[in-house]
Structure 1
Amino acid sequence: MISTTKAVIIEDEIPAARLLKSMVEAIRPSWEVVVLPGNIEESVEWFNSNPHPDIIFLDIQLSDGNSFMFIEQAKPESMIVFTTAYDEYAVRAFSLNSIDYLLKPIHKERLQDAIVKFENLTSRYIKDFNENSQMLEVLQSLSNTEKRYRTRFLISGVDRLFTLQVNDIAYFYSENKETFAVTTSGKEYIIDLSLDKLSEQLDPDRFFRANRQTMVSIDAIQKIEPYFQNRVSVAVQPPFKNKILVSKEKITAFKLWLNY
């Protein structure tokens, strides 16, 4: 008999925890997924009285402390995938030590990559993590650091360099392997970053990755309408040359984002 993979989600934001649970279950329907309260005390108590899961999706910042404190107390015998809003530069240390992380808002493709990575690591024991003092120091420093998002871009003009403020950008789009920023006044500039990289560097409260081609600012949205196949159409100002559609897989996350 094949044993069922058991996963635990520890996240202090209930909508985010429910969304992540539904995403994991959609990717791996056979998994048993449990959501724990997003605090250290109750999560440690659960780990002390239950068999440890195979994998934990663990938010770095919990409601009563940080995940460093949880790991010290619970000593989980599980693979850990961190969920965090910290930028790629700060969390790069995790990937160097074969511990994966998911940046918020979590995208299905990255979640699937993390799950596949977990499945490929057939023998992983959290003891190695606990004995890696350098990793614990990185985690502790991240937990005490205020998140900083990108606020501007350096743009190369015809005869000069100038800065473009993120607050002046209505949306981004990709075309022919290039990324463009469109300002609230309708001007377009080439940005030397992919939309994937922008998703990691921009404030997720302000920008949403609607689809593979576009990322929109909350302030640019003028109208949202139902569309075919359970999708929605988003109208922005200034108008985009193509129709911006949010796929049915992202509808729940989109609604949560609008209602945050």
Structure 2
Amino acid sequence: MNKINVVIIEDEVPAARLLHSMVARLRPEWDITILPGSVEEAVEWFASHSHPHLIFLDIQLADGNSFDFLSAAHPTSAIIFTTAYDQYAVRAFTVNSIDYILKPVDEQRLQDAIAKYEQLHNSDNALPDDYLSTLLDALQPKEKQYRTRFLISGVDRFWSLQVSDIAYFYSENKITFAVTHNNQEHIIDLSLNKLSEQLDPDRFFRANRQVILCIDAIHHAEPYFNGKISVSVQPPYKSKITISEEKLSAFKRWLNF
């Protein structure tokens, strides 16, 4: 097999370095290059270099997004998307790209994505002629109806809980709770992963494995250990809510949207 040339386009330097080390550990024979995580610089690089076999492409870049890059660079490469935004995972990337990986990157998930690429590469099947156009179509902003309410069941009645009344969701012992702005708790019959697909990403952010935050609930954020930040919410959460260094840029973009 010819040497596989790989490019990583990621706007967060620690995340790019981590992904590089993980890919290099899994496939030490691959030639891996990290590009600056901006649309402009990545497009310039592709205009003056041979296109790699594979790109690990972050959805959100420093000065735009992957749609802007793909539209301008017209890469002939296979694409594996990386994203900190769960909602992108429902946009059929497994059909239109090789795969997608949610950040922070799980090594087994990365291994599966690489294996999927290799299966295609080893089969000598060229990428479809419409590969790039279907990617661009998948990345086009689309109107989506997000959830507006939940049906809550009590001992002797049902009622509707409006999403606009919810400050945050959290998971504990595999049970999902919704906490309202007036500090009432309700059990929701959905996992946080499912909720991430159904909630408006302009208003809700997956802080970590345990918590999804509403923008209206955030009181302030402050530095924490190891590059993390701590977020305070109203009403107060029972423990400290931290945002990892890998998700920090995405969180700041979300706050500033």
Same fold (TM over 0.5): yes
Answer whether contact 2:91 2:138 (CA < 8 A) is retained: no
1:118-154: CA deviation from partner (whole Å, max 9, x where unpaired) = 4323253496442578x96686366263244333323
Q: Counterparts of 2:89 and 2:19 in 1: how far apart (Å)?
A: 28
1:130 aligned residue: 128
SS of aligned partner of 2:146: coil
2:112 aligned residue: 117
Match of 2:172 among 152, 175, 185: 175
Bigger Cα displacement from structure 2, 164-173 vs 47-56: 47-56
Answer whether contact 1:91 1:101 (CA < 8 A) is retained: no
Percentage identity across paired residues of the two chains: 44
Alignment of 1:1-260 (within 5 A): 5-9=5-9, 17-19=10-12, 22-29=14-21, 31-35=32-36, 38=39, 43=43, 47=46, 49-56=48-55, 57=57, 59=59, 70=71, 74=74, 76=76, 78-82=77-81, 87=87, 91-92=91-92, 94-95=93-94, 99-102=98-101, 106-109=102-105, 112=107, 115-120=110-115, 121-125=117-121, 128-131=126-129, 140=137, 143=140, 145-260=142-257
1:13 aligned residue: none
Query: RMSD value over aligned CA atoms?
Result: 4.1
For normalisation by structure 2, the TM-score amounts to: 0.70
1:56-75: CA deviation from partner (whole Å, max 9, x where unpaired) = 22749x9799589849x836
Shift of 1:206: 2.2
Unmatched tracts of structure 1, length 5 or more? 10-16
Residues 1:150 and 1:226: Cα distance change in structure 2 (over 3 Å): same
What amino acid is aligned across from residue 6 of structure 2 in structure 1? K
SS of aligned partner of 1:158: coil
Answer whether contact 1:232 1:247 (CA < 8 A) is retained: yes
2:27 aligned residue: none
Q: Counterparts of 1:63 and 1:172 in 2: how far apart (Å)?
A: 30
What amino acid is aligned across from residue 32 of structure 1 in structure 2? T
Q: Counterparts of 1:64 and 1:229 in 2: how far apart (Å)?
A: 27
Residues 1:137 and 1:214: Cα distance change in structure 2 (over 3 Å): closer
Shift of 1:98: 7.2
Unmatched tracts of structure 2, length 5 or more? 25-31
Q: How many residues align?
A: 240
Shift of 1:213: 1.5
